[in-house]
Amino acid sequence: MRQFLTVSALAFALAACGDKTAAPAGETASAPAVAAPAGQNWVDVVAATPEGGFRMGNPDARVKLVEFASLTCPHCREFHEAASATLKSKYIASGNVSYEFRNFVLNGPDFAATVLARCQGAGPFFGLLDNFFADQAGWTEPFGRIGKADQEALGKMPEEQAIARMAELGGLADYVKLRGIPRAKFDQCLADPAQMKAINDLRNQAVNELKLTGTPSFIINGTVQEGVYTWADLEPKLQTALR
């Protein structure tokens, strides 16, 4: 993992992702809607999972969708742009589909942003996820301007120090401050070894246990969806699972 961070962080490129109209809430395919807890919408029901991700929706949904994705992956951003509204309003809100996001970090900037998104807990996580994807080109751009001397210094630091310093050099402190994360919380999150371990554990899970080779990758009811990278690929799979 240390080799992954140093090489990928210093040779950061957005293209490194690996392989490659909202509908009304209610019924999904042939499945009747499941009522959410009183006063709630299933989209607002979020929780951390034992597997290390964050889940949105009915924990007992018939169809359990898991996505492994990177915050710096353009294909992941494109998936979220295409899928988010319909996935939430048509599928998750029906109570028939739950959606779990698990971070699959690909490089140092991704790692730094992932720490900051996950450190806030399940409540704010999905809003921050939306921000990082929507603003991907803007918040990643400063990392490409990190100078050679700083790059060399990063390569000599322990992992935790390198990620924190990279976040600083990339301007993430100012970016997340505008999204409700003050400087003290920024520093606290990036100094937390438990956050680093959780992210490394997720990457090991993706690579070593599930044998995933790129982002985004999807799992439906425990089965990895081979060759599925877009919403156009994924939605028919959800429809089939709901029959």
pLDDT tens track for 92-103: 999 999 999 999
Is residue 31 within 8 A of residue 21, CB to CB? The reply is: no
Q: Pick the residue with more confidence: 28 or 198? A: 198
The residue count of the chain comes to: 243
Range of the domain at 69: 2-242
Instruction: Report the 10 Å Cβ neighbour count for 182.
Output: 11
Model pLDDT for residues 6-41, shown as the tens digit of each residue: 434 444 444 446 555 333 444 455 578 999 988 899
End-to-end CA distance of the chain: 41
Query: What gap in Å lies between CA 57 and CA 36, rounded to an integer?
Result: 9
Residue 28: per-residue pLDDT? 52
- Residue 179: give its domain's CATH number: 3.40.30.10
> CA torsion angle for 176, 181, 186, 192 (degrees, to 10)?
-120
Alpha-carbon span 105 to 113, nearest angstrom: 10
Q: The pTM is what? A: 0.89
Between 21-25, 154-158, 202-206, 223-227, the lowest mean confidence (pLDDT) is in 21-25
DSSP category for residue 1: -
Q: Domain total for the chain?
A: 1
